[in-house]
């Protein structure tokens, strides 16, 4: 978790005018939609007309399974981007927008840390350019139109017991997981609930759409309910997508900001990786590839979640092909996977590091299965000892992967220079041979099983009987070629957050499945994972405020 030092650094480091950052990428001022002095949207029409660049390199930053505090994957992504700029590469960073849920819940801010940050930090972590509000409004407009259709006679003969669409809000609120709507003669009383906005299918569509036309086509395909006697009801059926697209008209333009060292960064879209597909928008990634020679992007949480979905969902749908993967590890997280309690992570324990290395090794093996060259970045903490670092470095040498101890938190790009040089060597070596882990021709059940057995190392998958029937119906309705988006805990390869290290031969439980036809995937919910998180006992919100000078405090 970031500290007050991060906030102090962010507030004391001057940012360049956004026009100057745009000029680095050849973006004319006339296509900037400014939100103040240091952030802007880029006209999507101009981006579509911009010719593709010759052989840009796409670098994926992923990580081992984290501790509850997170291990600095975003910080490493930013530090690597600054380091690539430092060694003379025209670099663009592509990140997700933070959700208000974790900002006010457990995690705090999500704009990096130390001298490896993007800014303006407070804006990005709070309302930014309003994208999340627009997505929330579009989602809830669809829900309102659905209930309104049933109120005025239900001409589509919708089965009120088989409505797939919940409502959404961008805040952790467990009390809204299950609700009753339509009371007091205000519609048809029925069970409903809320998902957090980052789990909304509208968010997934927003992030996977290639342009505005693709966005509207995907919104049309959203399956929101079933008819009595069979058949699905889509957003197009209730004539919702035009108004939804109108709400998203400005949001679909990608957001341009900068690092503290002036490296351009696109921050656009923000699905969670534990309950959604965990990647920034395809539009922003493609824009970065048109404007830079090196694009550094990240996928949420560990590689078993974010990277798997980036590669099997986002890359499959968009045609993106990464040139190298960076697996971020911290010695403290390795000690956690080696059996050390959270309260003792600052104490030297080389034996625990050795034991926890199985988690790192598993993630490296998995990335290689996708045909990607891999480098390990050790995100250095002040509590790390030389002996612990040597254990990790020796293990990486034994695995045959390059490894670097990175100090970008305290030194910015300079602290990740060696990592950047290795990334360039890997990316330009031509050894990447990317291929998704499963074929789209497999049945939905076999896709789930392939992910569980190949990536998680499960012995088998146990799918609830009702969920299995849903999968069969999805295939009968023509959705059998969709990808799989598994929702599970980020803390373990398994569905059990307490199962550390690299467990294997366990049974992976799927309790429910949800169809996201517009997004192009089926969500498979494993174990106790919730699509509307709750707040912790002591929410971060309790320590956030505004001082007499109008400066926000406590956001980190």
DSSP per residue, 239-268: T-HHHHHHHTTTTTSPEEEEETT--EEEE-
pLDDT score, position 1: 45
Are the C-beta atoms of 76 and 112 separated by less than 8 Å?
Answer: no
What's the start-to-end Cα distance of the chain, in Å?
A: 8
Question: DSSP letter at 284?
Answer: H
3-state secondary structure of 46: helix
Q: What are the backbone angles phi and psi of residue 425, rounded to the nearest 5°?
A: -60, -45
Q: In sequence order, which residues have a C-beta less than 8 Å from that of residue 439 and are 6 or more positions away?
A: none
Strands (E), 219-263: 223-227, 232-234, 255-259
Q: Name which of 447, 15, 534 is nearest 264 in CA terms.
A: 15
CB-neighbour burial class of residue 324 (10 A; exposed 0-12, middle 13-18, buried 19+): buried
pLDDT in tens, 404-432: 999 999 999 999 999 999 999 999 998 99
3-state secondary structure of 98: coil
Q: Helices 201-208 and 212-221, interaxial angle, to 10°? A: 150
Query: Distance between CA atoms of 491 and 211, rounded to whole angstroms?
Result: 34
Specify the residue for token string 């990140």: 95
Polymer length of the chain: 556
Q: Name which of 423, 36, 425, 85 is nearest 255 in CA terms.
A: 36
State both tokens at 299: 């996928």
Mean pLDDT of the chain: 95
Query: Distance between CA atoms of 135 and 157, rounded to whole angstroms?
Result: 28
Q: What is 444-526's CATH number?
A: 3.10.410.10
Identical fold between 4-129+251-427 and 444-526 = no
What is the residue extent of each domain of the chain? 4-129+251-427, 131-247, 444-526
State both tokens at 4: 């007050």
User: 2 pLDDT exceeds 70?
Assistant: no
Number of H helices, E strands in the chain: 20, 25
Confidence of residue 105 (pLDDT cuts 50, 70, 90): confident
Specify the residue for token string 């569905």: 495
Query: Distance between CA atoms of 514 and 189, rounded to whole angstroms?
Result: 22
Q: Are strands 91-95 and 264-267 parallel, antiparallel or unpaired?
A: parallel
pLDDT in tens, 285-332: 999 999 999 999 999 999 999 999 999 999 999 999 999 999 999 999
State both tokens at 493: 């390869």
Query: Distance between CA atoms of 131 and 537, rounded to whole angstroms?
Result: 29
Query: Distance between CA atoms of 309 and 96, rounded to whole angstroms?
Result: 14
Average pLDDT over residues 445-468: 98
pLDDT in tens, 364-383: 999 999 999 999 999 999 88
Residues annotated as catalytic are 73, 75, 96, 107, 273, 301, 381, 409
3-state secondary structure of 112: strand
Kindly report the number of other CB atoms within 10 A of residue 188's CB atom. Answer: 13
Are the C-beta atoms of 292 and 91 separated by less than 8 Å?
Answer: yes
User: In whole angstroms, how large is the CA radius of gyration of the chain?
Assistant: 23
Q: What are the backbone angles phi and psi of residue 232, rounded to the nearest 5°?
A: -105, 160
Neighbour-count burial for 338-350, b at 16+ CB within 10 Å, e otherwise: bebeeeebeeebb
Top CATH class, 4-129+251-427:
alpha beta
pLDDT in tens, 57-72: 999 999 999 987 677 8
3-state secondary structure 55-72: CCEEEEEEECCCCCCCCC
Query: Distance between CA atoms of 39 and 516, rounded to whole angstroms?
Result: 32
Beta bridge partners of 113: 116
Tell me which CATH homologous superfamily contains domain 131-247: Domain 2, N(10)-formyltetrahydrofolate synthetase (3.30.1510.10)
Confidence of residue 551 (pLDDT cuts 50, 70, 90): confident
Average pLDDT over residues 102-106: 85
Average pLDDT over residues 157-185: 95
User: 56 pLDDT exceeds 90?
Assistant: yes
Q: Are strands 374-379 and 460-463 parallel, antiparallel or unpaired?
A: unpaired
Average pLDDT over residues 534-540: 91
User: 73 pLDDT exceeds 50?
Assistant: yes
Specify the residue for token string 């625990």: 352
Query: Distance between CA atoms of 491 and 196, rounded to whole angstroms?
Result: 20
Q: Name which of 431, 528, 464, 471 is nearest 57 in CA terms.
A: 431
User: 160 pLDDT exceeds 80?
Assistant: yes
Q: Which long-range contacts (CB under 8 A, 24 or more apart) does 364-367 make?
A: 364/327, 364/399, 364/401, 366/303, 366/304, 366/307, 366/308, 366/454, 366/455, 367/62, 367/303, 367/307, 367/325, 367/327
Specify the residue for token string 């930053």: 61
Are the C-beta atoms of 263 and 81 separated by less than 8 Å?
Answer: yes
pLDDT in tens, 309-322: 999 999 999 999 99
Q: Where are the alpha helices (DSSP H) in 93-234?
A: 100-104, 121-125, 131-151, 201-208, 212-221
Average pLDDT over residues 129-133: 97
State both tokens at 56: 């840009």
Are the C-beta atoms of 277 and 317 separated by less than 8 Å?
Answer: no
User: 106 pLDDT exceeds 90?
Assistant: no
pLDDT score, position 107: 61
pLDDT score, position 554: 83
% the chain with pLDDT above 70: 98
Are the C-beta atoms of 318 and 78 separated by less than 8 Å?
Answer: no
Average pLDDT over residues 390-407: 97
């Amino acid at each position: 978790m970031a500290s007050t030092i991060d906030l102090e650094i962010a507030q004391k480091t001057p940012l360049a005018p956004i026009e100057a950052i745009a000029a680095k990428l050849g973006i004319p001022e006339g296509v900037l939609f400014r939100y103040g002095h240091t952030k802007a949207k880029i006209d999507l029409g101009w981006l579509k007309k911009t010719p593709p660049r010759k052989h840009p390199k796409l670098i994926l930053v992923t990580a081992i399974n984290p501790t509850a505090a997170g291990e600095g994957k975003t910080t490493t992504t930013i530090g690597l981007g600054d380091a690539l700029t430092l060694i003379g590469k025209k670099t663009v960073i592509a990140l997700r927008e933070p959700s208000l849920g974790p900002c006010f819940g457990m995690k705090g801010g999500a704009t990096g840390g130390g001298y490896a940050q993007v800014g303006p930090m407070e804006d990005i972590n709070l309302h930014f350019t309003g994208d999340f509000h627009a997505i929330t409004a579009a989602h809830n407009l669809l829900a309102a139109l659905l209930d309104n259709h049933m109120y005025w006679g239900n001409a589509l003969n919708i089965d009120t017991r088989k409505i797939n669409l919940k409502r959404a809000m961008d805040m952790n609120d467990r009390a809204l997981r299950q609700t009753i709507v339509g009371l007091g003669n205000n519609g048809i009383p029925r069970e409903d609930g809320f998902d957090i906005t980052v789990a909304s299918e509208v968010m997934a569509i927003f992030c996977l759409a290639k342009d505005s036309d693709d966005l509207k086509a995907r919104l049309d395909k959203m399956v929101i309910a079933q008819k009595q006697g069979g058949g699905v009801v889509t957003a197009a059926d209730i004539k919702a997508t035009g108004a939804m697209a109108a709400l998203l008209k400005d949001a679909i333009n990608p957001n341009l900001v900068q690092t503290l060292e002036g490296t351009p960064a696109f921050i656009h879209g923000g699905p969670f990786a534990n309950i959604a597909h965990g990647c920034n928008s395809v539009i922003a990634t493609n824009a970065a590839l048109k404007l830079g020679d090196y694009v550094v992007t990240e996928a949420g949480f560990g590689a078993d979640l974010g990277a798997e979905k980036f590669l099997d969902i986002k890359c499959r749908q968009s045609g993106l092909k990464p040139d190298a993967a960076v697996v971020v590890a911290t010695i403290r997280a390795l000690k956690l996977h080696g059996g050390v309690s959270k309260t003792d992570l600052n104490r030297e324990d080389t034996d625990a590091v050795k034991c926890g290395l199985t988690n790192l090794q598993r993630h490296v093996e998995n990335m290689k299965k996708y045909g990607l060259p891999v480098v390990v970045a050790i995100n250095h903490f002040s509590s790390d000892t030389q002996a612990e670092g040597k254990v990790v470095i020796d293990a990486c040498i034994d695995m045959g992967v390059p490894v670097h101890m990175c100090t970008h938190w305290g030194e910015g790009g300079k602290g990740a220079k060696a990592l950047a040089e290795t990334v360039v060597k890997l990316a330009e070596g031509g050894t990447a041979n990317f291929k998704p882990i499963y074929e789209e021709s497999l049945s939905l059940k076999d896709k789930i099983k392939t992910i569980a057995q190949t990536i998680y190392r499960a012995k088998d998958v146990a799918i609830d009987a009702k969920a299995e029937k849903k999968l069969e119906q999805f295939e009968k309705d023509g959705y059998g070629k969709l990808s799989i988006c598994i929702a599970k805990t980020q803390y373990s390869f398994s569905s059990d957050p307490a199962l550390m290290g690299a467990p294997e031969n366990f049974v992976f439980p799927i309790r429910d499945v949800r169809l996201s036809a517009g997004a192009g995937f089926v969500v498979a919910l494993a174990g106790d994972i919730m699509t509307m998180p709750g707040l912790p006992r002591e929410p971060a919100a309790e320590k956030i405020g505004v001082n007499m000078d109008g400066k926000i405090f406590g956001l980190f």
